[in-house]
Amino acid sequence: MRVYIPATFSTLRGLNESRVITARSGYGFAVTPALLDFYTDGDEEEIAHAAFQDAAEASIRLLAIGDEETFPYRRVVVSVDVDDSVVTYQPENGESVVKLSPAHINLDDVAAIHIDVEASEADTKKAIEVIDESDLGEEDAELTVGDAQDNFMAWYDPEELPFLVELL
């Protein structure tokens, strides 16, 4: 099953060093039965993109913690392929939310790495500032987060990880 793990650049650094990524609190995002029920229209790729977007928004929440030093305004999502047996659906937390057990995923199971491009940093910074208000349903904040979510995230092959950490 493809699972999208919200991350930060520090997470990538750790993945490069240890060859393991740990889903924060064990949570990721995936195409789940609840997500399929939520979308009455759309093909599999569009529904997968919705789960990916949920992970990208969760990356904003991770950045809001404020401990990312290298790239504090760039969302990161790591796409991983895991066996269905390690995934438990968590629809009470959101249609696409899954719990991974174990929450540690080997680099060999990473399918892709997605990182905000430099041009997206201003929008992501604004989204970080209002993410809590957005979660509470404040319309202007939701629009600000939506602007960040509309931005392109660059795709990288897992084999490029050492170069990303060193050169980005």
Is residue 28 left, alpha or beta, with left meaning phi > 0 and alpha meaning psi from -120 to 50?
A: beta
Q: pLDDT at residue 131 above 90?
A: yes
Closest Cα partner for 123 from 71, 76, 156, 74? Answer: 74
Q: pLDDT at residue 168 above 80?
A: no
- Which of 4-8, 67-71, 154-158 is the least confident region? 67-71
pLDDT of the residue at 42: 83
pLDDT-based confidence at residue 76 (cuts at 50, 70, 90): very high
Max Cα-Cα span within the chain = 43
The tens digit of pLDDT for each residue in 104-124 reads 999 999 999 999 999 999 999
pLDDT of the residue at 51: 98
Its pTM stands at 0.96
State the angle between helix axes of 139-149 and 121-135 in degrees (0 to 180), rounded to the nearest 10: 140
6 contacts: CB under 8 Å, gap ≥ 6: 24, 28, 29, 55, 56, 57, 58, 59, 61, 62, 75, 76, 77
Average pLDDT of the chain to the nearest whole number: 96
Hey, what's the torsion of the CAs at 116, 165, 50, 83, to 10 degrees?
A: 180
Percentage of the chain beyond pLDDT 90 is: 94
The tens digit of pLDDT for each residue in 26-69 reads 999 999 999 999 998 888 899 999 999 999 999 999 999 999 99
pLDDT of the residue at 110: 98
Percentage of the chain beyond pLDDT 70 is: 100
Rounded CA-CA distance 58/63 in Å is 9
